[in-house]
Amino acid sequence: MTDPRPTSAFDPANADPAVTGRLVGVLDQLAASPGVRRLRAWAHERLAVAAGERTLDVGSGTGSETQVLAAAVGPGGTAIGLEPHPGLRAVAGQRAAEAGSRARFLDGDALALPLPDADLDAVRCERVLQHLTDPALAVTEMARVLRPGGRAVLLDTDWATFLIHPASPAVRSALATVVQDAAATPDAGRSLAGWLADAGLTVDGVASEVLLHDPRSVTWPLVRGIGVEAVARGLLTEAQCDDLYGELTAAAERGTFHLSVTMFAAAAHRPR
Ligand SMILES: C[S@@+](CC[C@H](N)C(=O)[O-])C[C@H]1O[C@@H](n2cnc3c(N)ncnc32)[C@H](O)[C@@H]1O
């Protein structure tokens, strides 16, 4: 039988410390982005977690947002981060211990949550559904473990919104293909509210933030990673890639480089 967990960069089988270190670096960088901070603040406000509640952060990564849940529920409540990647789970546990947080981290799969029905007051899930081949099943699981009246927030990227400039239409289209193929479900962002509604929850609101990169510097690890993949797949030639890098560098020197992607969030509750 095939393992239902995704074989993305977050493949739990790959717990090589160097890989974990790279993942942590990317997650920390994103966590510092003003757009991510604003969308997370919106999500926490909508989740409105109260003291004593039982909460879950599905695919908790480094656990920063599980710690926010733990602070909100206080000593009488529960904040669980569900994280299948052993390296990330260890980092999350260590960071929580260092911060004196009561957040705790469990192994588990979004597609089969290890919790009974109607067990939780609130659940959040950020940038996980794009990595799943059956994200709707994961949202059904989140709805199952919520008590009547319990709340859910989902946050995810929509990779069709990836914009890079300057680049010719042909180069843009090759880069967009690579970016979209990298996610199991690249259109997760626009689908969040629909998945919540299909799982029987009442949608209470949606929000978005454009994650805008600094126009004065090319985001080289990301751009080169996409370029290398485009060449390997025969979508671009080496020469086209070199021209692209040159154009982007010149644009960054003038402060006119553009790289952005939009992240969406949706909030819902389980009807009583
Ligand atoms: C882009 S990271 C996001 C981490 C964190 N939510 C954040 O926003 O920083 C994706 C996370 O989803 C986790 N993940 C991937 N597949 C999963 C699954 N089937 N069940 C639960 N988590 C999963 C990964 O291990 C990783 O921590």
Q: Which atom of ligand 1 is nearest to the CA of 88?
A: 27
Cα–Cα distance measured from residue 75 to residue 59, given in angstroms and rounded to the nearest whole number: 23
For residue 10, being part of any structural domain is answered with no
Query: 42: domain range?
Result: 17-269
Q: Does the Cβ of 59 fall within 6 Å of ligand 1?
A: yes
Q: Does the Cβ of 27 fall within 6 Å of ligand 1?
A: yes
Q: Does the Cβ of 110 fall within 6 Å of ligand 1?
A: yes
Distance 127 CA to ligand 1 centre (A): 7
For residue 2, being part of any structural domain is answered with no
Which residue minimizes the CA distance to atom 10 of ligand 1?
A: 128
Cα–Cα distance measured from residue 46 to residue 186, given in angstroms and rounded to the nearest whole number: 25
| Substitution site in 128, 156, 185 for ligand 1 pocket (most atoms within 8 Å of beta carbon) | 128
Residue 269 Cα distances to 117, 147, 155, angstroms = 15, 9, 15
Q: Does the Cβ of 111 fall within 6 Å of ligand 1?
A: yes
Residue 15 confidence (pLDDT)? 77
Which residue minimizes the CA distance to atom 4 of ligand 1?
A: 61
For residue 48, being part of any structural domain is answered with yes
CA atoms within 13 A on the CB side of 180: 13
Residue 88 Cα distances to 116, 160, 222, angstroms = 25, 28, 21
> Is the pLDDT confidence value at 7 over 50?
no
For residue 7, being part of any structural domain is answered with no
Encode pLDDT of 128-161 as tens digits.
Answer: 999 999 999 999 999 999 999 999 999 999 999 9
Summary mean pLDDT of the chain: 95
> Is the pLDDT confidence value at 263 over 60?
yes
For residue 3, being part of any structural domain is answered with no
Distance 232 CA to ligand 1 centre (A): 27
Cα–Cα distance measured from residue 199 to residue 187, given in angstroms and rounded to the nearest whole number: 18
Residue 1 confidence (pLDDT)? 29
What mean pLDDT comes out for the span 227-240? 96
> Is the pLDDT confidence value at 110 over 50?
yes
What mean pLDDT comes out for the span 227-243? 96
Residue 3 confidence (pLDDT)? 38
- When pLDDT is cut at 50, 70 and 90, the band that residue 19 belongs to is confident
Residue 11 confidence (pLDDT)? 80
**Are 64 and 79 in contact, with CB atoms under 8 Å apart?**
no
For residue 213, being part of any structural domain is answered with yes
For residue 39, being part of any structural domain is answered with yes
| Substitution site in 131, 153, 263 for ligand 1 pocket (most atoms within 8 Å of beta carbon) | 131
Encode pLDDT of 175-213 as tens digits.
Answer: 999 999 999 999 999 999 999 999 999 999 999 999 999
Cα–Cα distance measured from residue 77 to residue 56, given in angstroms and rounded to the nearest whole number: 11
> Is the pLDDT confidence value at 9 over 80?
no
Q: Does the Cβ of 131 fall within 6 Å of ligand 1?
A: yes
What's the total number of domains in the chain? 1
For residue 5, being part of any structural domain is answered with no
Lowest-confidence region among 12-21, 28-37, 109-118: 12-21
- CATH number of the domain that residue 55 is part of: 3.40.50.150
Q: What is the residue type of 66? A: T
Q: Does the Cβ of 128 fall within 6 Å of ligand 1?
A: yes
Which residue minimizes the CA distance to atom 14 of ligand 1?
A: 59
Q: Does the Cβ of 84 fall within 6 Å of ligand 1?
A: yes
pTM of the model: 0.94
Encode pLDDT of 62-102 as tens digits.
Answer: 999 999 999 999 999 999 999 999 999 999 999 999 999 99
> Is the pLDDT confidence value at 8 over 90?
no
Q: Does the Cβ of 162 fall within 6 Å of ligand 1?
A: no
Which residues in 112-123 are b (16+ Cβ under 10 Å) and which e? ebebeeebbbbb
**Are 119 and 148 in contact, with CB atoms under 8 Å apart?**
no
Who contacts 158 (Cβ-Cβ below 8 Å, separation ≥6)? 186, 187, 188, 189, 190, 261, 262, 263, 264
Who contacts 246 (Cβ-Cβ below 8 Å, separation ≥6)? none
